[in-house]
Structure 1
């Protein structure tokens, strides 16, 4: 049985790719996301232009190769010609590629310049990546919050059936208005992350100590999902992005409601400083906080990951000096993956999770930490204590 020449396979692949692109361009099954912004439309059409140019080049090149191989095959008595350089041929195969490259570079440059133009924005939002969550801060609006994965641990462990948006759902979505130019300032608290929403054609790295810029102007209301596109550590896959785009009047209403919600949360946090909770109440709150914020590193059973994240069960910090434990949660530990939770959790939540860690996982210290204890620690300005 004769083998099909490689050139035939390559030609068939080009035709197949062209057919797939044309067939699935509408629903994006196999093609690039068309998106819901002017920039994403431009990127999509630029992609299609370059794709078809490459297909045309491939058809010409492989077509000429296939024709030459077939027409001048040895079985027909073809004899190879003996000649050296041709000035005309060299000019042709130099000029034509230059013209093609210019034809590709002009629209590409226009689109790239437009993607980097963050001027005249209507709203500025600071996006901070950290292991493994996003923090959103609305400039001049006094609104900021963290966005964490909302998929349950039972779904991740396979105990429950996976939801429709498995690993692509969060507790607090980034809410944006349509028809307004939104400028993003992107940075990171720890390692390099990457904020990527395909429908906006926005993908920017968040780098510690550096601020990147991007922008979008959404045309259609809806919920748009993305992910961290940089390998940022063990829970890289648990760092989704959800954007809820609203009509302008709905966004304004949401913004006022969010301000009221955050103000109420601050008041409740202040009220918690003067109240004392029972061990049972603290353990209940602490377990919830632990599952949401700590289990991704230290595991739900508190046994940690040897060589990467220390165990809570039987650890010196969780069973030793309470102030050292508080300091570790509040200020973090420099040079390790342990973050500072001072600005991420309220005093009540910190007190509850410390109480849970000191009494769960068979630690059973009997210690009860209240919100007032956390406030006193922070107010006294105690420096970082070294582990005994």
Structure 2
């Protein structure tokens, strides 16, 4: 059989296109076993987590339904394409059919997509109704995003609310690559959120400065934290364990240092933990009326500094993102100016207002530490009552 140059060129182009389509199909077939594994509920790095909540399971099932519908549509479309390429190519002498304004075709490409969308919409609507069902919560937790930490406040009807900040606790040595990184690098905190198992917990999510996003995949929770607004979300964990997440909104230079850790415990352990937290809050109130020695303030202040100030002001007070503490005109100047900045922050800078983040005991301790550490040696003692009086004045 003899071919003209044009026929050979067309045949070569068709063959190359067919090879590329076969390569694509092979890639899809290689991926399908992994998808099947995920559909079976096994862990798979290519798929979303199932999580430990009923809503999480519903979201995963919806995801898999939509995925398989898309796979079926893709297989059908590419099957028709491959068949047409093989059996209706020009080299076989096939003449293309000619038709215009086919009523049957127009009805088919309208009705079939409509039915597919209805098939997707029914389970999607049911899942969305579950996601936004905030009623009948057993407990409420106010979540507030700060640059770059989270504040959790347990709202109690009896007025015995518990509040604390959750900060990144990954050692600086790991962050700056002077030590090996552990399994939960940048996903560990000093104070995790603790909730009881089999309990509907409603989260009221907001922010103090910029937009954050509170995201814990295994609890099926992701909600934006927006200053001036309170968004709602909820979870009910079915399994005891530790679940980790991160801020999912680019919120500034330390966005990657804003992890979330949620510990789901038994109801008995939760009651014990809550009682311990309430005792700690009562002890802080008692400490407010006490007078501390320089050694006591320095020891407590050092711990507060390392937890809240070190990232910006340096381990030795040398500065970095923030100004230096060592020899600073603030830390060696008038005490009132130091209290003003520590309590109210500096507008337009990364220096936050710690008056609402730290209790008066910790504020007194850290200011005392800054004025006497790093070679400043001012000899000043700031007592909790001094901080309280400054706030009132």
Would the TM-score normalized by the shorter structure come out above 0.5? yes
Q: Report the Cα offset of residue 196 of structure 1.
A: 0.6
Structure 1 runs of 4+ with >6 Å offset: none
Pair 1:123 & 2:139 matched? yes
2:111 and 2:319 map into 1 onto residues whose CA distance is 62
Determine the structure 1 residue equivalent to 2:35.
21
2:178 and 2:206 map into 1 onto residues whose CA distance is 36
Q: Report the Cα offset of residue 164 of structure 1.
A: 2.0
1:1-388 to 2 correspondences below 5 Å: 3=16, 5-24=19-38, 25-140=41-156, 141-271=160-290, 274-278=291-295, 282-305=297-320, 309-361=322-374, 364-372=375-383, 375-381=385-391
Quickly say closer, same or farther: Cα 1:75–1:304, change in 2 above 3 A.
farther
Q: Report the Cα offset of residue 209 of structure 1.
A: 0.4
Q: Report the Cα offset of residue 139 of structure 1.
A: 0.8
2:114 and 2:167 map into 1 onto residues whose CA distance is 49
Determine the structure 2 residue equivalent to 1:386.
none
1:78 and 1:139 map into 2 onto residues whose CA distance is 75
2:169 and 2:199 map into 1 onto residues whose CA distance is 28
Q: Which moved more, 1:75-84 or 1:206-215?
A: 75-84
SS of the counterpart of 1:26?
coil
* Conservation of the 8 A alpha-carbon contact between 2:142 and 2:204: yes
1:285 and 1:196 map into 2 onto residues whose CA distance is 32
CA-to-partner distance for each residue in 1:34-81, whole Å, 9 max, x for gaps?
011110010010000001001001111111112211222222223333
CA-to-partner distance for each residue in 1:189-248, whole Å, 9 max, x for gaps?
111111111111110001000000001111111111111111111111111111111122
Aligned length: 374
Q: Report the Cα offset of residue 86 of structure 1.
A: 1.5
CA-to-partner distance for each residue in 1:139-178, whole Å, 9 max, x for gaps?
1142111111111111211222222211111111111111
Q: Report the Cα offset of residue 346 of structure 1.
A: 3.4
Q: TM-score, normalised by structure 2?
A: 0.88
Q: TM-score, normalised by structure 1?
A: 0.89
Q: Report the Cα offset of residue 380 of structure 1.
A: 4.3
2:255 and 2:355 map into 1 onto residues whose CA distance is 23
Structure 2 runs not aligned, ≥5 long: 1-11
Question: How well do the aligned residues superpose, as a CA RMSD in angstroms?
Answer: 2.3
SS of the counterpart of 1:12?
helix
Q: Report the Cα offset of residue 277 of structure 1.
A: 1.2
* Conservation of the 8 A alpha-carbon contact between 2:37 and 2:44: no
SS of the counterpart of 2:260?
strand
SS of the counterpart of 2:346?
coil
1:238 and 1:31 map into 2 onto residues whose CA distance is 25
SS of the counterpart of 1:317?
coil
1:208 and 1:217 map into 2 onto residues whose CA distance is 26
1:224 and 1:181 map into 2 onto residues whose CA distance is 16
